[in-house]
Structure 1
Amino acid sequence: MNKFLLLLLFPIFVFGQSDLNTIDSLLKKKQFIKAEKTVIDFLKNHPNNLRALEFLGDALSYQKKWDDAVVQYKKLVKAQQNKANYHYKYGGALGMKALSVNKLKALGIIGDVKKAFLKAAELDKNHIETRWALVELYMQLPGIIGGSKNTSLKFANELEALSQVDGYLAKGYIHEYDNKPELAEKYYKMAIDLGGSLNCFNKLTNLYENQKQPQKAIQNIEAAQKIHQRNALHYQIGKVAAEYNTQLEKGKQCLQTYIANHSAKDGVPLAWAYYRLAQIYKHKNNKEEALKWIDKAITNLPKIKVFQEEKVNISIL
């Protein structure tokens, strides 16, 4: 009899699993609206399926529908109170909601954010994402409502015990946020030496840009390019050159290379490369070429306000 029931129910399980795999695929393809609709339809027949509820929360989060995402993640936390990832996602959605409301409302949410992240960290001693969230939370909160650099460093040390690279990046972040760029640079370089990922290089590049050190930024991007060979790095060099009016010829060549080899995986639309070329030609006082490239940028993405503003600046040269 049990075998008969199992055979009877097996097709339902298979179809349900297939639907969930489809939703997972839609999320990975960044088709978030379609994923949301599909998972809502699935939940009509399977209202308590935890994986489906998590997918719905994820689809809503990607669309920045924080109130709705919080509702779904809270269901997960109530259903399985000992699962760290549910507390982490719930805390994350609450935190993003806090950023989207006024300060008075945010104060009423922060306590729950902290509680969710701390619970996730308690439940899973190896949960890297939660410790990253706590590093950032304790650095960004004012001291009067519980912010603490020392507590942030405590979680950075926990990160370092799990992953040295993450620990170094976290300490770089802490010191950068604390306006200690020399220490931030030290830890970002340690992360590069140990891990060498593109993310490590990007952290250091962003630090140099924020500190208005374009020469160091370009040098660091070139070091990343030698290892990773990414077309997107050509755009980054061109962007820094255009923004800081430095190494203009190198910037122009890199942008031309980026345009010639562009594909969807590069991330930055071609219109932005055209815009950066326009900026470079403006710095060179070549009004004709600058107008040519800014017009291409506007034609490609006509609703970008900064392109229209740049055309005005070029026109008065």
Structure 2
Amino acid sequence: MKTKHSFSTLFALICLSTGSHIAQAHEYEALIKAKKYAEVEKAVSLKLTTEPNNPDALVAKTELILIEGKENRLDEAAKIAEQCIAYNAKNSECHEALGNVLGTKAMRGGVMSAISYVGKIRDSFKKAIELNPNNFSARSSLMQFYLQAPGFVGGGKDKAKDLIVETIKISPSAGALLQASLDLYEENFDRASSVALAVNTSQSESLAKHQRNVLSNIGHALISEKKMAQAEKIFQELCNRFPDSIHGFYGLGKTLQEQGKVKDALPHLEKSLAIEANANVLYRLGKAWQSLGDKVKAIAAFEKALSFKPELAKKTKADAEEQLKALRG
């Protein structure tokens, strides 16, 4: 499994690790978490009319653009993050927001784009941590950077290990979750799982989010390795620990579907969709209904998947279009 990832894969992993680009806690985080995006947009606009350089509002504005998923607004988001830094140079979340935006630009732009942004992305996360050592989402993003980026652009396993040691001094729990990410990178799935599951995050929402993302990464890696029984256990644990999150139900549905257990997968995928609609869930629902012979529901799911933003990855999108054409034909 251990392969040298492309730059685009690197930034996909960074974006995943940050929890859909949501930065450390700010005034609008609860509303964003509740997906009340129109309410956030209104509140942010109102705030910026009286305080045009308010850091919470500027960070939230970048997050809204990233959630919207329109590539043509990424330059705007970068300028907003840079404005946030220019007027709030000691605000950790402003620097993290820039790292998240540039990471997304690099992911969408391909290899050359990634090379041009890679130093700024690394430095943005490092600065965010320097300003707020308890910014665990930035620590998670920097960890993924060190594990996936080549040494000539500042990556490397030794730097990842140093970050773990440094993090343990501040928070043993956060350090353990970073260690689990390193174990996963080294394909030690059993240790990665046991370390991540053992962390008590009940007193910290930020760490709970980090744990959820690490466990989800482990689960999907286990699927890739065809270790389905282990993957099921991880995703079931995610369902139990985070019943309001899409991660466990989507992962469990995917695991069962990959084993041909479509009827068993369906309720988990539907539960996932009820929690949070996204293109990947809709695509898998389309495949499930197609397998079960319900053309009407399959067509509807594929159509929604193809129109959803952020959109499907190119390979998945092409397959959805092909399946939809076959179903209509």
Give, as a single letter, the amino acid of the residue that structure 1 aligns with 2:193.
Y
What's 2:255 paired with? 240
Q: 1:43 aligns with which of 40, 48, 53?
A: 48
Q: How many angstroms apart in 2 are the aligned matches of 1:25 and 1:132?
A: 21
**Cα deviation per residue 1:257-312 (whole Å; 9 max; x = unaligned)?**
765x7872265767744632543xxxxxxxxxx322x4322134435464564578
Q: Distance in 2 between matches of 1:222 and 1:58?
A: 29
Distance 1:226 1:60, change over 3 A: closer
Equivalent residue, structure 2, for 1:209:
223
User: Do the aligned partners of 1:235 and 1:258 also contact (CA within 8 Å) in 2?
Assistant: yes
Bigger-Rg structure (1/2): 1
Q: What amino acid is the match of 1:296?
A: K
Aligned residues: 276
Check the 8 A contact 2:106/2:117 in 1, yes or no: yes
* Structure-2 separation of matches of 1:168 and 1:255: 34
Cross-structure match for 1:291: 293
SS at match of 2:303: coil
Give the match for residue 276 of structure 1.
288
SS across alignment from 2:155: coil
User: Kindly tell me: are residues 127 and 258 of structure 1, through their superposed partners in 2, closer, same or farther at Cα, counting changes over 3 Å?
Assistant: closer
The residue that corresponds to 2:266 in the other structure is: 255
Aligned to 1:82: 90
Call closer, same or farther: CA 1:130–1:211 in 2, change over 3 Å: same
Alignment of 1:222-237 (within 5 A): 222-224=236-238, 233=248, 236-237=251-252
Determine the C-alpha separation between the residues in 1 that align with 2:266 and 2:182.
33
Distance 1:165 1:222, change over 3 A: same
Q: What TM-score, normalized to structure 1? A: 0.69
Q: CA deviation at 1:165?
A: 4.0
Task: Judge conservation of contact 1:77–1:87 (CA < 8 Å) in 2.
Answer: yes
Summarize the alignment of residues 32-181 of structure 1 with structure 2, pairs less than 5 Å apart.
32=37, 35-36=40-41, 39-40=44-45, 43-64=48-69, 65-177=73-185, 180-181=186-187
Change (3 A) 1:101 1:190: same
Unaligned runs of 5+ in 1: 1-19, 280-289
Q: CA deviation at 1:142?
A: 1.4
The corresponding residue for 1:265 is 275
Equivalent position amino acid for 1:149 in 2: K
Letter in 1 for 2:255: V
Contact 1:262 1:270 survives alignment (8 Å): no
Structure 2: runs of 5 or more not aligned = 1-25, 202-210, 306-316
C-alpha displacement of 1:91: 2.5
Matched residue SS, 2:52: coil
Letter of the 1:47 counterpart: P
* Identity score, percent: 22
Structure-2 residue corresponding to 1:9:
none
Distance 1:310 1:34, change over 3 A: same
Contact 2:62–2:77 under 8 Å retained in 1? yes
**Farther off after superposition, 42-51 or 135-144:** 42-51
Aligned in 2, Cα 1:298/1:160: closer, same or farther, shift over 3 Å? farther
Q: Give distance in 2, aligned partners of 1:272 and 1:170.
A: 30
Match of 1:82, SS state, is coil
Instruction: Return the alpha-carbon distance in structure 2 between the equivalents of residues 66 and 150 of structure 1.
Output: 32
**Whole-Å separation in 1 of the counterparts to 2:220 and 2:272:** 23
What is the root-mean-square deviation in Å for CA atoms of aligned residues?
3.8
